[in-house]
Structure 1
Amino acid sequence: MSGVLDVVVIGAGWAGLGISHGLRRSGVSHVVLERGRIGETWRSQRWDSFHFNIPRVLTVMPGDHYDGSDPEGAMTRDEFVGMLEGYVSRNSLPVQIGESVTEVTPDGANGYHVRTQSRMLNARNVVVASGSLNRPRRPAVSQRIPAFVRQIDASDYRSATALEPGAILVVGSGQSGGQIAKDLSDAGRQVFFATSKIGRIQRRYRGRDVVLWLVDCGLMDIRREEFVLPSGAIPGRPLQGALETISLQSLSAQGVVLLGRVASVDGKVLTFAGDVAENVRFADENSATLRRKIDDYIARNSIVAPPATDDPAEVVPPKIPFPPITSLDLETSGISTMVWCTGFDGDFSWVKVPFALGADQQPSHVDGIGAASGVYFAGLDFASTRKSGTILSSIDESRTIVGHIVRRLGQL
């Protein structure tokens, strides 16, 4: 492709494809570059039994709507990839697969050079849609784990059968950690689960999928400024099962051994904080608060909904070791694998544009519109609201970023 493109979009996941759809509808010349296949992250960084936490009726791309027979069902990993592939085909989106971007630099004339392994493209605007959850984070203690224990990240986990025989220690009790711990336990593996203070969301409440209530209540539209902590950190997404409610107590009831937060390692021995009961209580209180907000919304709007009933996963008594396990010998416990579910950030080192990244080497932007003119970021976790970083944000995000690009092109 010769000449100067109006836009180069980097990444063909839901975020990049949503932007591409908006650009095509606006008549903006562009190309989408994808390092692997369409939806590569969903293909290669999700486990085999992965299901979406968001119901099918809301798992839709810009311009689409759900008309199936299972609106509150959970889409599988492979179904989602198929949906993205169909979206590209139906909308004739200009996706170039197998082309990894190695560098983005200014061209000295209000545009950018976009280099791949095989060519260089020139663009007036660049949309980085590679996501902010592609580089696993592990605590420093991981570097001192003995070599006989295999360490993997949540993005590397595929199934229980793919792991070596032995017990597994899952570290991190957010969405991925809880779902992986359950997947392993369901497969009959011995699981130790290092927990922390993270909220919890039921799968269903008062006759509906909870995410539908969250969207209707406006809780997913809460602005980032309202929930960011004084330290600048953002609380992790609550533990939520895709097919059913998952709680720390329900995991313990099926044999998962609950531990506190990982504190340190000395040789073969890991030490943990004695905070398991506190972590269970924190998640319980978080869930109860959310239920009250939904109840208030139902009452304020005079909505006819079934009465609240107890969720078995929430009321089952927790089986907490007494006294709490604060020391664990990895060898004598038979632990062969540790799965780190301790979060991700984005690798944007290849975006070599002044002011595009902050001191932390993460995107500098407001609502996806970069501090560097003509650079945009799509699909970032918690970029603007609670729904940012999920497909729930794709329509709003595409409208905002594409609208800004069109206005900028009109000024060049």
Structure 2
Amino acid sequence: MSTQTHAATSAPTSTPLCDEHVSVVVVGGGQAGLSMSYCLKQYGIDHVVLEKHTVTHTWREQRWDAFCLVTPNWQCALPDYPYRGDDPHGFMKKDEIIAWLDGFVQHVDAPVREGVAVTRVTRRAQGGFVVQTSAGTLSADQVVVAAGGYHTPIVPRMAERLPSSVVQIQSSEYRNAGALPEGAVLVVGSGQSGAQIAEDLHLAGRKVVLAVGEAPRCARFYRGRDVVDWLADMKYYDMPVEAHPLREGVRDNTNHYVTGRDGGRDIDLRKFASEGMALYGALDDYVDGALRFRPNLRANLDSADETYNRINASIDKFIAQKGIDAPPGEIYRAVWEPQAERSALDLASSGIGSIVWCIGFRPDFSWVDLPIFNGRGYPGHARGVTAQEGLYFLGLPWLHTWGSGRFSGIARDAAFLADRIVELARPDARAA
């Protein structure tokens, strides 16, 4: 049964014998949930944060060893907790990110209950919500879902037909090249994770076969500055979703691939190909012992480069309009071209011993038993505020702006929702 159908048939429950009542339940103990807790504490709103694992679990357990930020450190600005290190234009590595988040955890001192999974959220007949968990049932006046939007790894059904001798993992399980068995590695997907994992394997000397998707790319540095710095000056990161040319459709966009590794640089798949990485189009199927690829490698590489040059052109225009003195710009020119589209690869003779699936995640909000979702399982909302009074979402990509699912925009979104929560909790104060 789909989430949409399941939610639409829900009716207010009879009054349960709840173990406990709190004003606000925050679901998720990552940076979004902790940011929400910080803002609620400023207003003196009693609340609890429920986290099924441990706080900031994803950063500790689902990142590879060489992982680093792709956005500069200065964009790390959680509530009342900006980056204060000595390298604002650098890119924190995994251990540095965890240390910074550990400081934020202490800074917030949130009322967190770890190891508590939320299994169902429903309406109460008399108002508010029933929150069923692995540790009992709570009632709440309001609920903030801050559990992110990347829940279920996407792995195609064709994976079931691949030989058991080929080790298959998802991007969240990848740690380093040495943890994979000998042989070539097929990386499926060229978004942020896929491109960076392919680079990690390539730099480690592994033979990499990369199935290239439709992800765009951007420059790391252009005309003397990080592209992020230019875009910040151009107010791109302040653009609300309703002002974006794609409107809510931007939420479905794949992130541009680039890296902060070794001080930051472009990721150029064409350069990797010239150095021996085998590039194919998008993986389509596995038939009669052969991997089948779509004949779209050239189109996907060209499209990524067009986006790269288009972003740079927008920076050129901004520089010209503002009369800024900056080094000259340039157009990216391909350093490698595929000679032909290769549509098949015999798995047995390829030497591929492992596959890393890097084609994203699906949201799973099936436990939110309320009629707010679209046909793809995403909640309908306006800046995190749903049609169900007292139910909110926080930390989703483009919830409000580009930074909504990142360290740079969560503070603003959390503060906005905290204001809405207070207005509903204290109507007398709102009237005054």
TM-score by length of 1: 0.92
Aligned length in residues: 407
| Residue 407 (structure 1) shift | 0.8
| Residue 2 (structure 1) shift | 7.2
1:120 equivalent in structure 2: 137
Counterpart AA for 2:391: V
2:381 equivalent in structure 1: 365
> Distance in 2 between the 1:229 and 1:254 partners?
39
Alignment of 1:9-408 (within 5 A): 9-225=26-242, 226-228=244-246, 234-243=252-261, 244-308=265-329, 317-318=335-336, 320=338, 322-352=339-369, 354-408=370-424
> Distance in 1 between the 2:309 and 2:58 partners?
34
> Structure 1: which 5+ residue stretches go unaligned?
none
Counterpart AA for 1:265: Y
Mean alpha-carbon deviation: is it higher for 81-90 or for 170-179? 81-90
> Distance in 1 between the 2:270 and 2:247 partners?
27
Deviating above 6 A after TM superposition, structure 1's stretches of 4 or more consecutive aligned residues are 229-233
Alpha carbons of structure 1 residues 73 and 271: separation in structure 2 relative to 1, 3 Å: same
| Residue 142 (structure 1) shift | 3.3
Report the secondary structure of 2:22's partner residue: strand
Q: Is the contact between residue 151 and residue 339 of structure 1 (CA under 8 Å) also seen in structure 2?
A: yes
Counterpart AA for 1:399: A
Residues 195-237 of structure 1, C-alpha deviation per residue, up to 9 Å, x if partnerless?
1222111111222221222222122344435354898982211
| Residue 355 (structure 1) shift | 1.8
Alpha carbons of structure 1 residues 224 and 90: separation in structure 2 relative to 1, 3 Å: closer
2:9 equivalent in structure 1: none
Structural RMSD (CA): 2.3
> Distance in 1 between the 2:328 and 2:113 partners?
51
TM-score by length of 2: 0.88
Mean alpha-carbon deviation: is it higher for 52-61 or for 87-96? 87-96
Alpha carbons of structure 1 residues 76 and 289: separation in structure 2 relative to 1, 3 Å: same
> Distance in 2 between the 1:212 and 1:236 partners?
21
Mean alpha-carbon deviation: is it higher for 397-406 or for 96-105? 96-105
> Structure 2: which 5+ residue stretches go unaligned?
1-17
| Residue 309 (structure 1) shift | 6.0
Q: Is the contact between residue 298 and residue 337 of structure 2 (CA under 8 Å) also seen in structure 1?
A: no
